[in-house]
């Protein structure tokens, strides 16, 4: 059977992406198996309160800095053995707040220091590297600004440094605001998967596990032996922990020691955090995998798992590849069913590999409370699908070596469900990534229509999950943005400029929503007018191949003539005769004349059989011509022009919002002066 080379290429991309995604998914289930098989039996030893430096890297954290310092100073540990270094690179009110708090605790006898470098060079890694120059204690504990370590943390965690080769103790993250919103719930479940499956499986084994940047304790000798903190990647924690394990140090995860933390409540903050993790992991893969591969002392299984962990974020571009190629393959009538005559097996296989297996993992993780967590799984699937654009950009940023900038994840001190963050400082605006998410959402609507009209409705839910995800992420990115000036320390009425800005923002949201709906309607109408008739024509051509009745064939041919364009060429750049609709119409006229003649001769004559064979061969040629033409209908001149105008309109709205934002910032500066 003839296969269009372009469609064959698209099909190959789809299959390769499917195989790789399945491989990474199955590896997660393998780790789930290891985590359930290997019971944690971590020995403890009574240590005589060894010296510890607690390092607290912060940058513009005025809502949570005091909470962090207070909880650290409240730890039940001898003051003479506990040093505290607040590594403050802030440039806002946080500096004065921290300075006063540090001076107060100093007067109470704490060994606490307010470290100001005067630069943000190297960002968090740079601050930690700078702090190590004056750190002389045996152990180093690290907490990010949004963490709330319990009083007993040091005593319990340090007691697990039983063997001298244990270089790191990583503790589990808790979630102080897990039930604040759907965003925090899905983040909590995702992080629990990481800690209770991945980290638990790798700890107490030959596999490499990673430091999560906070809620952990390092042996200072391990940090120094591994080469110290590097600033070459955005995930200095992952980088250092891998270099330490390559040196022979052991990293240990303790699931029973939980340190609560605040989850991002704003979508743009969550996207920023995900972007940093995705880009940093790929950077570490580029930096470390070569050395891991050639190091003989590292077990083969550890090498494989290191490769999987460091490269796992390529799943997001692969998800986009599948999302983009699936509608094209369905429109081209490529059979994607696992078992062609039982389509339901396909959706069952998707469910088994995805949600079905995840439900079993959740049941094992949470035991009696698994049902409440399972309810969050659909939201997590939608959230993960929607994040694929944001994280794919991060992967490409890392691959192409774009310069690093450590963009912090703002926190607002949100604990209770009644806490509000929208009028606080650090509120992030949406970015250009949101435009891509909207584009993919509209493309997904088109894909759903294609799956239905091509008689492949079984694929509609698969496309639908990602489509909902793109719209969900883009909607929250827009709705969580606003023109709110960062003056939370002063309660005041809105100014005229702010009211105007918020009105412009609301109008922009309405405009974007209208553009999305118009784009979706236009895509549906365009498919119905341009592509669907070609699909119907292919169906009639298949009917010709299956029929021996001249009158039935004649009916098929007349229907095809109505459906096919009477003029033009699907390929508008470098057109070919195989996609010329004028020639196809002429061939149909010849076939109609032939069938009319055939219908007048006896059916058992050689003339009848020869004529029918000729008609069927011509039908196959036209069917191949239509298959060649179909992909180009999607990228016709009018579609490209419309898409360009559609995208340009959204970009224009973005530009207006950005200009207004800059105007408000300038207004704030002038008001301060």
Digit-coded pLDDT (tens) for 66-83: 999 999 999 999 999 999
Superfamily of domain 38-265: Spore Coat Polysaccharide Biosynthesis Protein SpsA; Chain A (3.90.550.10)
Find the helix or strand (DSSP H, E) in which 67 lies. Answer: helix 65-73
| Contact partners, residue 129, CB within 8 Å, separation at least 6 | 122, 228, 229, 230, 231
Can you give the pLDDT at residue 125? 95
Q: Considering only the C-alpha atoms of the chain, give the largest distance between any 2 of them, rounded to a whole number of Å.
A: 113
Among candidate residues 88, 89, 239, 535, the one labeled active-site is 89
Res 664 pLDDT > 60:
no
Can you give the pLDDT at residue 595? 92
Q: Does the fold of domain 527-638 match that of domain 38-265?
A: no
d(CA 467, CA 471): 6
Can you give the pLDDT at residue 499? 64
Instruction: Give Cα 162 distance to the centre of its chain.
Output: 38
Q: Tens digit of pLDDT for each residue in 160-207?
A: 999 999 999 999 999 999 999 999 999 999 999 999 999 999 997 889
Strand partners, 208: none
Res 483 pLDDT > 70:
no
pLDDT above 90: percentage of residues in the chain: 56
Res 566 pLDDT > 70:
yes
Q: Tens digit of pLDDT for each residue in 430-448?
A: 888 988 898 899 889 888 9
Can you give the pLDDT at residue 672? 43
Can you give the pLDDT at residue 490? 40
CB 323 within 8 A of CB 450: no
Instruction: Give Cα 373 distance to the centre of its chain.
Output: 21
d(CA 354, CA 380): 12
Can you give the pLDDT at residue 358? 86
Res 507 pLDDT > 80:
no
Can you give the pLDDT at residue 503? 67
Res 101 pLDDT > 90:
yes
Can you give the pLDDT at residue 487? 43
Give the start-to-end residue ranges of the domains of the chain: 38-265, 527-638
| DSSP codes joined into one string, 588-647 | HHHHHHHHHHHTTS-TTSHHHHHHHHHHHHHHHHHHHHHHHHHHHHHT-HHHHHHHHHHH
Q: How confident is the model at residue 591 (pLDDT cuts 50, 70, 90)?
A: very high
Q: Tens digit of pLDDT for each residue in 298-324?
A: 999 999 999 999 999 999 999 999 999
Q: Tens digit of pLDDT for each residue in 310-364?
A: 999 999 999 999 999 998 888 877 777 655 555 555 566 666 666 778 888 898 8
Pick the residue with more confidence: 401 or 421? 421
Q: Which sign, positive or negative, has the C-alpha torsion 214, 220, 226, 227?
A: positive
Among candidate residues 88, 237, 260, 397, the one labeled active-site is 237
Res 84 pLDDT > 60:
yes
d(CA 409, CA 392): 19
Can you give the pLDDT at residue 574? 72
**Residue 640 token pair:** 């490209």
89 labelled catalytic: yes
Pick the residue with more confidence: 591 or 45? 591
pLDDT above 70: percentage of residues in the chain: 88
Instruction: Give Cα 302 distance to the centre of its chain.
Output: 25
43 labelled catalytic: no
Q: DSSP alpha helices (H): ranges in 295-387?
A: 300-311, 315-331, 344-351, 357-366, 370-374, 377-386
**Residue 615 token pair:** 């008609």
| Contact partners, residue 338, CB within 8 Å, separation at least 6 | 345, 346, 349
Q: Which of 243-257, 420-434, 457-471 has the lowest mean pLDDT?
A: 420-434
Q: What is the mean pLDDT of residues 483-509?
A: 55
Q: What average pLDDT does the structure give for the chain?
A: 87
pTM of the model: 0.79
d(CA 246, CA 239): 11
Res 39 pLDDT > 70:
no
**For the domain with range 527-638, which CATH number is right: 2.40.40, 1.20.1070, 1.20.120, 1.10.760?**
1.20.120
Res 666 pLDDT > 90:
no
CB 598 within 8 A of CB 611: yes
Pick the residue with more confidence: 526 or 158? 158
Q: Tens digit of pLDDT for each residue in 106-134?
A: 999 999 999 999 899 999 999 999 999 99
């Amino acid at each position: 059977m003839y296969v269009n080379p372009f469609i064959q290429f698209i099909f190959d991309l789809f299959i390769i992406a499917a195989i790789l995604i399945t491989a990474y998914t199955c590896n997660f289930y393998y780790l789930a198996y290891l985590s359930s098989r290997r019971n944690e039996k971590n020995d403890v030893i009574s240590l005589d309160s060894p010296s510890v430096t607690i390092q607290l890297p912060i940058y513009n954290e005025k809502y949570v800095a005091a909470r962090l310092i207070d909880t650290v100073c409240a730890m039940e540990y001898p003051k003479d053995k506990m040093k505290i270094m607040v590594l403050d690179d802030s440039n806002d009110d946080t500096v004065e707040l921290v300075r006063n708090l540090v001076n107060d605790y100093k007067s109470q006898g704490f060994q606490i220091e307010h470290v100001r470098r005067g630069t943000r060079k190297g960002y968090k890694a740079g601050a930690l590297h700078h702090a190590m120059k004056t750190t002389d204690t045996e152990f180093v504990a690290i907490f990010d600004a949004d963490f709330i370590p319990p009083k007993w943390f040091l005593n319990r965690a340090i007691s697990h440094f039983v063997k001298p080769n244990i270089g790191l103790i990583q503790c589990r993250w808790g979630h102080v605001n897990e039930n604040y919103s759907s965003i925090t719930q899905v983040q909590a479940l995702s992080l629990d998967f990481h800690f209770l499956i991945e980290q638990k499986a790798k700890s107490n084994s030959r596999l490499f596990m990673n430091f999560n940047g906070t809620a952990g304790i390092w042996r200072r000798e391990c940090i120094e032996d591994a080469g110290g903190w590097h600033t070459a990647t955005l995930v200095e924690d992952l980088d250092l922990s891998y270099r330490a394990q390559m040196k022979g140090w052991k990293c240990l995860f303790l699931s029973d020691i939980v340190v609560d933390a605040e989850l991002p409540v704003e979508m743009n903050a969550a996207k920023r955090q995900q972007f940093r993790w995705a880009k940093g992991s790929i950077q570490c893969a580029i930096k470390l995998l070569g050395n891991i591969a050639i190091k003989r002392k590292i077990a083969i299984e550890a090498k494989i798992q290191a490769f999987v962990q460091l490269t796992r974020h390529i799943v997001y571009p692969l998800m986009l590849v599948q999302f983009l190629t699936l509608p094209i393959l369905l429109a081209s009538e490529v059979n994607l069913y696992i078992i062609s005559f039982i389509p339901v097996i396909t959706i069952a296989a998707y469910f088994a590999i995805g949600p079905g297996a995840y439900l079993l993992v959740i049941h094992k993780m949470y035991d009696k409370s698994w049902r409440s967590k399972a309810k969050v799984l659909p939201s997590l699937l939608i959230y993960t699908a929607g994040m694929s654009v944001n994280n794919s950009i991060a992967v490409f940023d890392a691959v192409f070596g774009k310069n690093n900038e450590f963009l912090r994840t703002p926190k607002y001190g949100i604990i209770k469900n009644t806490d509000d963050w929208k009028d606080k400082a650090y509120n992030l605006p949406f970015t250009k990534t949101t435009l891509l998410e909207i584009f993919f959402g509209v493309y997904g609507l088109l894909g759903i229509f294609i799956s239905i009209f091509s008689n492949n409705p079984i694929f509609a839910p698969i496309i639908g999950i990602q489509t909902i995800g793109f719209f969900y992420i883009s909607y929250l990115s827009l709705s969580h943005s606003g023109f709110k000036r960062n003056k939370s320390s002063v309660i005041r009425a809105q100014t005229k400029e702010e009211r105007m800005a918020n009105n412009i923002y609301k109008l922009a949201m309405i405009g974007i929503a209208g553009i999305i709906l118009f784009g979706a309607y236009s895509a549906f109408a365009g498919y119905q007018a341009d592509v669907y008739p070609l699909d119907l024509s292919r169906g009639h051509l298949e009917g010709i191949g299956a029929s021996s009745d001249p009158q039935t064939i004649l009916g098929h041919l007349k229907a095809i003539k109505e459906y096919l364009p009477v003029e033009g060429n699907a390929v508008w750049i470098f057109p070919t005769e195989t996609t010329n609709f004028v020639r196809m119409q002429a061939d149909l006229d010849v076939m109609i004349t032939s069938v009319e003649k055939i219908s007048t001769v006896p059916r058992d004559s050689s003339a009848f059989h020869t004529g029918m064979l000729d008609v069927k061969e011509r039908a196959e040629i036209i069917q191949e011509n239509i298959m060649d033409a179909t992909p180009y209908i999607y990228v016709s001149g009018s579609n490209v022009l419309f898409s360009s105008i559609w995208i340009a309109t959204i970009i224009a709205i973005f530009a207006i919002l950005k200009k207004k934002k800059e105007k408000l910032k300038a207004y704030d500066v002038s008001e301060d002066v």
